[in-house]
Amino acid sequence: MITVAGLVLAAGAGRRYGMPKALVPYEGRLLVQRAATTLREAGCEHVTVVLGAAAEEVRAAAPDLPSTVVNPDWATGMGSSLRTGLAALESTGATAALVLLVDMPGVSAEAVRRILAHADLDALVMGGYGDRRGHPVLLGRDHWAGVASTAVGDRGARDYLRANTVRVVPVDDVADDTDMDVP
């Protein structure tokens, strides 16, 4: 049976933004709440949010978050958050992980559902935006160890995805991949 766990990466300090993006209000909710809700609405059976900077403040401001895990090495970049999140998902029995960044509120549940339609143990799937590929990203469980071994700094899964065959599913008609780097 195919099961997909959602993984929200929300550990950064948001230096360019001026505050942790998990705590940024957006359309009546915090960005972190919006990302977790998007994954749940799309059908992810289990959602884990990776926190780091201001983790306790985020938990207090968003007590409705699903499962959370704290990345103690969050300051080293997104790679350590991805490794932390994938390690946390090991016990879920999930077939794949759907990764979403906290600062991309334009990624819709419909875009996530399109990506989820390709879930299996060896899936590597990204959202397509014209000639670019981006989030959401689906990582089949067979790739978790490889992704974790190459996830360093702020590169996340980028190097692993470039070195392997990735299915790109167009989502630009239902999503916007703009990230919120500055207020």
Of 38, 172, 41, 168, residue with least CA distance to 103:
38
Q: What is the CATH number of domain 4-170?
A: 3.90.550.10
User: Dihedrals φ, ψ of 146, to 5°?
Assistant: -65, -45
- Note the pLDDT of residue 167: 97
Q: Strands 4-9 and 167-170, how do they pair?
A: unpaired
Q: Residues 124, 99, 135, 170: is their CA dihedral positive or negative?
A: positive
- Note the pLDDT of residue 116: 97
Residue ranges per structural domain of the chain: 4-170
Spacing of C-alpha 12 from chain mean position? 13
Tens-level pLDDT at each residue, the chain (183 residues): 779 999 999 999 998 888 999 999 999 999 999 999 999 999 998 999 999 999 999 999 999 999 999 999 999 999 999 999 999 999 999 999 999 999 999 999 999 999 999 999 999 999 999 999 999 999 999 999 999 999 998 888 999 999 999 999 999 999 999 988 878
- Note the pLDDT of residue 83: 97
- Note the pLDDT of residue 181: 81
Whole-number Å distance between alpha carbons of 116 and 42: 8
- Note the pLDDT of residue 100: 97
Is 50 exposed, middle or buried (CB count within 10 Å of its CB: 0-12, 13-18, 19+)? buried
Question: Are 100 and 10 in contact, with CB atoms under 8 Å apart?
Answer: no
